[in-house]
Chain A
Amino acid sequence: MSGDTVQNDWRPSATLETLRQRAELLHRIREFFSSRGVLEVETPILSMAATSDPSLESFSLLSPNRYLHTSPELAMKRLLAAGSGPIYQLCKVFRRDESGRHHNPEFTLLEWYRPGWSYRELMAEVEALIHALSSTPLPPIQRLSYREALLTHAGVDPFSCTTESLLQRLERGGINLHQPRSYTLRQLLDLVMAELVETQLTHAPPLFIYDYPAEQAALAKIKPDAPHLAERFELFIQGVELANGFSELVDGAEQEQRFRTELQQREEAGLSRPPIDRRFLAALHHGMEACAGVALGVDRLLMLLLGKERIAEVISFDFERA
């Protein structure tokens, strides 16, 4: 589609048949949640605060000073703290500089929360949803811990490796880094995941990877009996990362500390320091029931269901023709 000429780029990047299937998918997602008593909600797309995650960049507006959300997570948690009960949202989210075969800077996320649940119960519901949406029967989704996944697919133990051993492993895997000495351990583990694990999963059955290192917790709760692990999972189908979920961190003080750490990391990396969401922190301090939540990429799900190669093929107009 990138081969289209300028004269032709008014046309959609998806076929009309795909767009009909997209509408059908959205309809069936809503049916799934409605039948389970989960409330559909909408939260602001333009926010006064932005994510402090060093691996995400927000689009921003100058006047008034607002940020396009990279995920509806914090606003949805404010609803949970206000007593909403189980909620879901289908919305566009925006992430700068993320363009590629599986990425469009503007994409559709399905995010939902289950008060009183843990990440394990939520994994079962993600599996039920995937099975409900797939027109062909899928095999059961396998489960591997993060450590098992790296050991099995890359021969790397994430809890005893060093930057040196990871650099050697990547070199053996034919990964040629532009500036190898500039990588942190965390970045090398991310690279092992992307280049050595995900590439192995392309022809493997669907897989949940769970129990990520605490350093990769994002907004997940730390495992009470194993403080080096976070109660976080991701779903991979055909090597494509489709969903990311947690037992949510509901401790306001710890959350505030994580924001500070992330802002510090952003500063060290020369990135901007956006305002953090103090209303979200206030909601946590007010008190929020333990819950589990997950975000699932709807465009990627549609790609996989229809066997499409590029995310542009399931979006009416991709970023290049938006």
Chain B
Amino acid sequence: MATYSTSEFKRGMKIMIDGNPCNIVENEFVKPGKGQAFSRVKIRNLINGRVVEKTFKSNESVEAADVVESEMQYLYTDGEQWHFMDPATYEQIAADKNAVGEEYKWLRDQDNCTITLWNGAAISVTPPNHVTLRVTETEPGVRGDTAQGATKPCFLETGAEILVPLFVNIDDMIKVDTRTGSYISRVRD
């Protein structure tokens, strides 16, 4: 089993903590004058996304996590699982609800997503930062009303509910920032 010593710690390194794969977010070397050195490390649990701080004694070692990130194309969902394909090898992989979480709202056929795999299984799915989706439900658009800040709720083809400007209509294609869930612009196809 591969292990890392604290002196090898750096941002982005994937390690196993309490049985969970984690990502080092921040690593600070701490040492009092004439004593033991420590690493104060911020780690993100890759399964539930929680960030915690942990203190390691220098030269403690931890198991490396077999975590890789892979660009894959979203194919479809059967309701239980979401299916992705590696565009180079055509290999398919399925991600369950735990891995997809709330991101299902931004998945559109054929979009390229980043899949995080731990021991070969999908543990998280990151959609593209910007996706273009069709409006399926909203109040009728108010022509010419571009008053700043005025918004209304709308539903998108994936089931996502977001706030859009008043002029947006059903069947409009709109661009959304998936990191914040906010409207960016209307797209003419």
Contact = CB atoms under 8 A, between A and B. Distances in A.
Nearest to A180: B55
B103 to A, nearest CB: 28
Contact of B31 (A98, A176, A177, A218): A98
In this complex, which of A100, A195, A198 has the most chain B Cβ atoms within 10 angstroms of its Cβ? A100
Contacts of A195: 30, 38, 40, 55
Interface size on A, as a range, is 20 to 34
Nearest to A236: B33
B29 A98 contact: yes
A52 interface: no
Instruction: Tell me if A's interface is mostly helix, strand, loop or mixed.
Output: mixed
A55 B30 contact: no
Contact of B36 (A100, A101, A191): A191
Interface string B59-70: 110100000000
Interface in A180-234: 182-183, 186-187, 189-191, 193-195, 198, 216, 218, 234
Q: B29, B37, B40, B54 — which one has the most chain A CB atoms within 10 A of its CB?
A: B37
Contacts of B62: 178
Contacts of B29: 98-103
Given A97-B7, A98-B29, A101-B28, A193 B54 contact: no
B30 to A, nearest CB: 5
Contacts of B54: 176-178
A127 interface: no
Nearest to A199: B30
B100 to A, nearest CB: 29
Given A178-B60, A194-B31, A195-B30, A98 B55 contact: no
A138 interface: no
Name the residue among B31, B38, B59 with the largest chain A CB count within 10 angstroms: B31
